[in-house]
């Protein structure tokens, strides 16, 4: 019973209250900017859900957040802080779009999986560089993934901006050629941009959950996340688990990249992601690294991203306000003590840990 209550507190109540507090902080910023928070938030809601095509557009924005949120969450579960989702998104987009515009005239059932595999493979290989550096040399993944982000941005702009490489001919803006018609993800609602990628993202949630919670790979991953020494003592290869986790994380981030191309953009420019991968860290935090939790968290971020346009149209409150709301939500999530303090929640007594440390050197009596 106590465990159930604690779960409710940490997985539902704290994120929920954090979101409410985040909106309250946002409201203060709106007032400071000289607008009416109620009007702004009702426009935000209308722009995210009730306007013409708004819900479909929110789901379009939610799609990359789901896949990237899962990517970051899977890293968290193994104790890895993958800041590189943005870069893996780029590399996945690059390798995927290359396949998607190179192949011609095959049926979609062949072209889409080919492009998807290319994108996921690109992201996985890219992320496992950071994994291997950590496993082999102990280089911290936060540092290496941040650095690899820059490398991937520059690789992308070099490939996309250079004639003879991936730059399309006769275009006014630097971008790759359009993908083959067969590689386009089918539209779900005619007249909107909602595409099959959303369903793929939804399917990824139970798959990732099953992988983490019900397979030996997932067990190793969680064991390494809990305690590397214990995992090693139990005979697991910590290094291999780290590389594999990063590869899985990168594959999901790469999938987000190629889905965005096959479903929304149909070609790649050199500034395609613009922050999805960084927002995803917040999505995973808000979800408490739980794959199921990623879904509502991603929906929230998708709705904020999408609703911001209409909010600005109606009230001229800058779309950047959304960043304030997101950031405050994360501060409240990251510091659950604040939420506890606000509600004077009594800290549940810590249960006695079953395993006690034995003092090896203690003299026997």
Determine, following the binding rule CB under 8 A, whether residue 181 of this chain makes contact with other proteins.
no
| 227 in contact with other proteins (CB under 8 A) | no
User: How does DSSP classify residue 267?
Assistant: S
Residues in the interface with other proteins (CB under 8 A) total 53
Give the span between the Cα atoms of 80 and 66, in whole angstroms: 18
- Measured from the CB of residue 331, what is the shortest distance to other proteins in angstroms? 15
**Quick one: which of 28, 143, 203, 337 contacts other proteins (CB under 8 A)?**
28
CA 226/CA 338 separation, integer angstroms: 25
Q: Binder to other proteins among 9, 45, 46, 53 (CB under 8 A)? A: 53
Residue found under tokens 């990732």: 208
Question: Which region among 116-124, 130-138, 211-219, 338-346 touches other proteins (by CB under 8 A)?
Answer: 338-346
Q: At which residue do the structure tokens 């690789």 appear?
A: 155
Radius of gyration of the chain (CA): 22
Question: Which listed range, 52-60, 69-77, 86-94, 291-299, lies at the site for other proteins (CB under 8 A)?
Answer: 52-60
According to the binding rule CB under 8 A, does residue 47 interact with other proteins?
Answer: yes
Tell me phi and psi for residue 269, to 5 degrees: -110, 175
Per rule CB under 8 A, is residue 275 in the interface with other proteins?
yes
Q: Does 154 bind other proteins (CB under 8 A)?
A: yes
Choose one: 81-89, 141-149, 242-250, 341-349; the region binding other proteins (CB under 8 A): 341-349
Q: Which of the stretches 131-139, 243-251, 280-288, 301-309 binds other proteins when contact is defined by CB under 8 A?
A: 301-309
Q: How far is the CB of 310 from other proteins (least distance, A)?
A: 6
CA distance 300 to 311: 15
- Compute the distance between CA of residue 278 and CA of residue 65 in angstroms, rounded to an integer: 10
Nearest-angstrom CA–CA distance, 161 and 5: 55
- Please, which residue, 98 or 266, has the CB nearer to other proteins? 266
Which of 14, 15, 22, 35 lies at the binding interface for other proteins (CB under 8 A)?
A: 35
Under rule CB under 8 A, residue 27 binds other proteins: yes
Q: Note whether 182 binds other proteins by CB under 8 A.
A: no
| Residue 342 is a binding residue for other proteins (CB under 8 A) | yes
DSSP string across 188-249? SSTTS--BTHHHHHHHHHHHHHHHHHHSHHHHHHHHHHH-HHHHHHTT--HHHHHHHHHHHH
| Residue among 77 and 195 whose Cβ is closer to other proteins | 195
Is 153 a binding residue for other proteins by CB under 8 A? The answer is yes
Among 26-34, 217-225, 245-253, 282-290, the segment contacting other proteins (CB under 8 A): 26-34
353: helix, strand or coil = coil
What is the C-alpha separation between 212 and 112, in angstroms, rounded?
26
In the chain, which residue ranges form alpha helices assigned H by DSSP? 2-7, 14-32, 37-45, 54-77, 85-102, 108-137, 141-161, 197-214, 216-226, 228-233, 238-260, 276-286, 291-315, 321-334, 336-342
Applying CB under 8 A, the span of 89-97, 115-123, 136-144, 265-273 interacting with other proteins comes to 265-273
Site for other proteins contains 50 (CB under 8 A)? no
List the one residue from 310, 325, 328, 329 that touches other proteins (CB under 8 A).
310
Distance CA 313, CA 304 (A): 14
What span, in angstroms and rounded, lies between the C-alpha atoms of 323 and 190? 31
| Nearest alpha-carbon partner for 301 in 336, 274, 327, 265 | 327
Q: Is 343 one of the binding residues for other proteins (CB under 8 A)?
A: yes
Binding site for other proteins (CB under 8 A): 24, 27-28, 31, 34-38, 47, 51-53, 57, 60-61, 153-154, 157-158, 161-162, 170-173, 193, 260, 264-265, 269-276, 305-306, 308-310, 312-313, 316, 318-320, 322, 342-344
């Amino acid at each position: 019973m106590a465990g159930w209550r604690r779960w409710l507190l940490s997985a539902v109540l704290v994120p929920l209250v954090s979101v409410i507090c985040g909106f309250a902080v946002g409201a203060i910023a709106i007032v400071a900017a000289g607008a009416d928070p109620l009007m702004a938030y009702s426009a935000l809601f209308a722009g995210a859900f009730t306007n013409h095509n708004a819900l479909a557009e929110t789901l379009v924005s939610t799609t990359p957040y789901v896949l990237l949120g899962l990517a970051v969450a899977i890293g968290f579960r193994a104790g890895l802080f993958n800041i590189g989702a943005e870069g893996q998104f780029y590399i996945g987009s690059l390798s995927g779009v290359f396949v998607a515009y190179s192949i011609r005239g095959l049926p979609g059932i062949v072209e889409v999986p080919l492009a998807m595999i290319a994108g996921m493979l690109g992201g996985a290989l890219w992320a496992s560089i950071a994994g291997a550096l950590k496993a082999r040399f102990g280089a911290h993944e936060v540092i290496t993934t941040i650095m690899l982000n820059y490398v991937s941005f520059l690789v992308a702009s070099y490939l996309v901006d250079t004639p003879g490489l991936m730059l399309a001919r006769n275009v006014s803006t630097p971008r790759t050629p359009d993908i083959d018609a067969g590689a386009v993800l089918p539209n779900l609602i005619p007249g909107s941009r909602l595409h099959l990628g959303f369903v793929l993202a939804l399917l990824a949630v139970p798959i990732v959950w099953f992988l983490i919670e019900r397979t030996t790979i997932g067990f190793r991953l969680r064991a390494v996340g809990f305690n590397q020494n214990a995992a090693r003592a139990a005979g697991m290869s910590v290094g291999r688990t780290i590389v594999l986790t990063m590869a899985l994380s990168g594959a999901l981030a790469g999938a987000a990249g190629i889905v965005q191309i096959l479903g929304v953009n149909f070609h790649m420019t050199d500034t395609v992601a613009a922050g999805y991968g960084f927002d995803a860290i917040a999505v995973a935090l808000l979800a408490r690294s739980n794959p199921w939790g990623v879904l509502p968290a991603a929906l929230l971020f998708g709705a904020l991203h999408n609703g911001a346009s209409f909010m600005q149209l109606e009230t001229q409150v800058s779309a950047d306000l959304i960043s304030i709301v997101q950031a405050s939500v994360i501060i409240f999530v990251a510091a659950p003590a604040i939420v506890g303090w606000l509600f004077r929640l009594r800290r549940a007594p810590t249960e006695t840990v079953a395993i006690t440390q034995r003092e090896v050197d203690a003299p026997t009596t």
